Amino acid sequence: MIRTTIYLSDEVHNGLKHLAVERRQSMANLLRKAVEEVYEDDLKDLHAAQKAWKTHLSQPEKAISAREYFTKRTKKNA
């Protein structure tokens, strides 16, 4: 895990602190869960893109055009 710093307003910090006590979790855990939930789809897309890039580098003959990729992606998300 990597440690990072964020700045929160006093109001958000106090609310998060109370929520952490109520849920018996750390503030850090609440923030991690929130970030993962908000960016879940984006993180999945990023992971898929990284995997596809590795595949492309090892098997460039199987590459498809960007237009084909986005067409498939649009159909998948519809």
Quick: pLDDT tens for 16-25: 999 999 999 9
Give the pLDDT confidence of 28-47 residue by residue, as tens digits.
999 999 999 988 888 888 88
Instruction: Verify that 44 and 57 share a domain, yes or no.
Output: yes
How much is the CA Rg of the chain, to the nearest whole Å? 19
Instruction: Verify that 60 and 72 share a domain, yes or no.
Output: yes
Distance separating alpha carbons of residues 31 and 37, to the nearest angstrom: 10
**Which residue range is the domain that position 21 belongs to?**
1-38
Distance separating alpha carbons of residues 31 and 15, to the nearest angstrom: 12
Q: What are residue 17's phi and psi, to 5 degrees? A: -60, -45
48-73 mean pLDDT: 84
Instruction: Verify that 15 and 47 share a domain, yes or no.
Output: no
Instruction: Verify that 45 and 70 share a domain, yes or no.
Output: yes
Domains of the chain: total: 2
Instruction: Verify that 47 and 68 share a domain, yes or no.
Output: yes
The pTM of this model reads 0.57
52-56 mean pLDDT: 83
Instruction: Verify that 1 and 34 share a domain, yes or no.
Output: yes
